[in-house]
Structure 1
């Protein structure tokens, strides 16, 4: 076994040297030719190990150069990865349903191509443009596929793989796709259609969607099936229930997963005593999303209000907070936490437009009676209705209408 591991490590070192040269060499054709045997024998596990190394040595907030290079390398790896005798996900398993939603996504792209072709022939056809906008709106539901990966699958990979950092690169591609969908919607909604811009966005969007599908099904899934216990993989299906798969409906386990309280002991909070059940009810009825990260940067709790703004799953419990954010923005979160720990700041506030809503996101440092840092809570709230308040509405003006 050790001999095999050493050979694999040596190949990964060679692949890393090849990848680094590919990012700087002006004679890439000659470089590819010199490494033809290395490329021809590539395995999914080696791609994951290679990309893990590349991510660790690259600045998180700027992946543009890295993504261009990895796109070229994955193009070279395409044939050997396609020929790799991968284990197929069992029917009705977690990975099976991810693959099914991928197929449904590709079917929608084929339908969209018809409208795109028609619009290129007749750019002034408002009916076709409206049709394409509606198809794009439906396609945007595919974001749930990426949310499941980011909030359910990736946390599990962090626990089982030493070389899990490669998923940060995949998350960055997810964000590219999200932005491309938004940009395409804006172009299609404009009073005058910019056909050249539309075609560029469509090309980039389709390429990224299909490229990520290939990387999932020919790199990520085979390695998961070879390295992670089947029972663990299957448990992720239930964890994905809250988000829900796009375009497909799995047969979830009907087991009741509600919290069970073994007793009704009360907790003295200083200003009153409440039971564990009452604490849960209080958190889950506040009109905000709350996530608690302890002083060791580990996620310990999140509330489950009736309407969540951003997805959360139980898979994030025990996860390091810097793994819960996209690579391009994680450095900001790390900076905020660092400022909190140093006692330089106690809160940070941001507000964004998200799905036609105005969202306020606030971070609050938690400190004990001695002023020692004990963690941070993230509080997220939809404030559109609050911003529109005018005048007064007093308690006596209340009615149950």
Structure 2
């Protein structure tokens, strides 16, 4: 699989560079344009057939031998979920194949549709996110907030169980109520704003949280310091200095 994955990356890179060449055709001389485009296309004509050969003669036969029917159904369900390249099977249009095997619930773990995790692991994961989050339920009651190392707006545990309106200045309560009413009535799903705080740019977003039946479950507040993100330019590969 590692070899196939590497070849996927190589093919994507050639397609990306060929697309860039096409986008810049007006600023490139004809000979330079032709040379670059042909180079990328020739590389693809070598990479893709070789890749198909490995799939059909090595990867697929081994997979058919090692993977059972139940696992194939799981793979198919995952493919329907992720989507397809170039074509979509007719029986995948408008419906999703259900997973044949439910995620096994382990003792002491919280089970979700896509996996399971311990309470300790979940809490640590939420506290590691590069954003601060607070959840308010459908009754406008504060139920949870994360505790990141450098929380932008301090939170006291005493707010748990309070109405969110009691956590905001009187002058802004009408705005809070308007956002929550809009979420509850389905008029909007997101509200956002940003402020300057001690020379840092703070981005604050509110998201309506819905269940599978689209019923309103509450509001998620996400706060992030985006000062350093604004300075990003170009690209940086993983582990590059």
Q: If the length of structure 2 is used for normalisation, what is the TM-score?
A: 0.55
**Selected match of 2:152 from 288, 306, 309:** 309
Following the alignment from structure 1 to structure 2, what is the Cα–Cα distance between the partners of residues 330 and 394? 44
Following the alignment from structure 1 to structure 2, what is the Cα–Cα distance between the partners of residues 321 and 283? 21
**1:323 and 2:166 equivalent?**
yes
Following the alignment from structure 1 to structure 2, what is the Cα–Cα distance between the partners of residues 359 and 330? 20
Q: Residue 368 of structure 1: CA displacement?
A: 0.5
**1:273 and 2:116 equivalent?**
yes
Paired residues for 1:320-359 under 5 Å? 320-359=163-202
Answer 1 or 2: higher relative contact order, Cα 8 Å, separation at least 6.
1
Paired residues for 1:101-180 under 5 Å? none
Residue aligned with 1:318, SS: coil
Residue aligned with 1:329, SS: helix
> Partner of 1:381 in structure 2?
224
Following the alignment from structure 1 to structure 2, what is the Cα–Cα distance between the partners of residues 264 and 293? 28
Following the alignment from structure 2 to structure 1, what is the Cα–Cα distance between the partners of residues 227 and 196? 10
Paired residues for 1:16-95 under 5 Å? none
**Selected match of 2:234 from 370, 374, 391:** 391
Following the alignment from structure 1 to structure 2, what is the Cα–Cα distance between the partners of residues 310 and 267? 29
Following the alignment from structure 2 to structure 1, what is the Cα–Cα distance between the partners of residues 240 and 126? 24
Residue aligned with 2:170, SS: coil
Q: Residue 398 of structure 1: CA displacement?
A: 2.6
The answer to which structure has the higher strand fraction is 2
Residue aligned with 1:328, SS: helix
> Partner of 1:294 in structure 2?
137
Following the alignment from structure 1 to structure 2, what is the Cα–Cα distance between the partners of residues 332 and 294? 17
Following the alignment from structure 1 to structure 2, what is the Cα–Cα distance between the partners of residues 398 and 356? 28
The answer to which structure has the higher helix fraction is 1
**Selected match of 2:205 from 362, 375, 382:** 362
Q: Residue 264 of structure 1: CA displacement?
A: 6.2
Q: If the length of structure 1 is used for normalisation, what is the TM-score?
A: 0.33
Q: What does the per-residue CA deviation read over 1:144-173, in whole Å, with 9 as the maximum and x for residues that have no partner?
A: xxxxxxxxxxxxxxxxxxxxxxxxxxxxxx
Is the CA contact (8 Å cut-off) linking 1:264 and 1:276 kept in structure 2? no
**Which stretches of structure 1, 4 residues or longer, exceed 3 Å deviation after superposition?**
none
Q: Residue 270 of structure 1: CA displacement?
A: 1.1
Q: What does the per-residue CA deviation read over 1:160-192, in whole Å, with 9 as the maximum and x for residues that have no partner?
A: xxxxxxxxxxxxxxxxxxxxxxxxxxxxxxxxx
Residue aligned with 1:384, SS: coil
Q: What does the per-residue CA deviation read over 1:50-96, in whole Å, with 9 as the maximum and x for residues that have no partner?
A: xxxxxxxxxxxxxxxxxxxxxxxxxxxxxxxxxxxxxxxxxxxxxxx
Is the CA contact (8 Å cut-off) linking 1:322 and 1:333 kept in structure 2? yes
Following the alignment from structure 2 to structure 1, what is the Cα–Cα distance between the partners of residues 173 and 193? 15
Q: Residue 354 of structure 1: CA displacement?
A: 0.8
Pairwise CA RMSD of aligned residues? 1.4
In the alignment, structure 2 segments of 5+ residues that lack a partner are: 1-105
Following the alignment from structure 2 to structure 1, what is the Cα–Cα distance between the partners of residues 137 and 224? 21
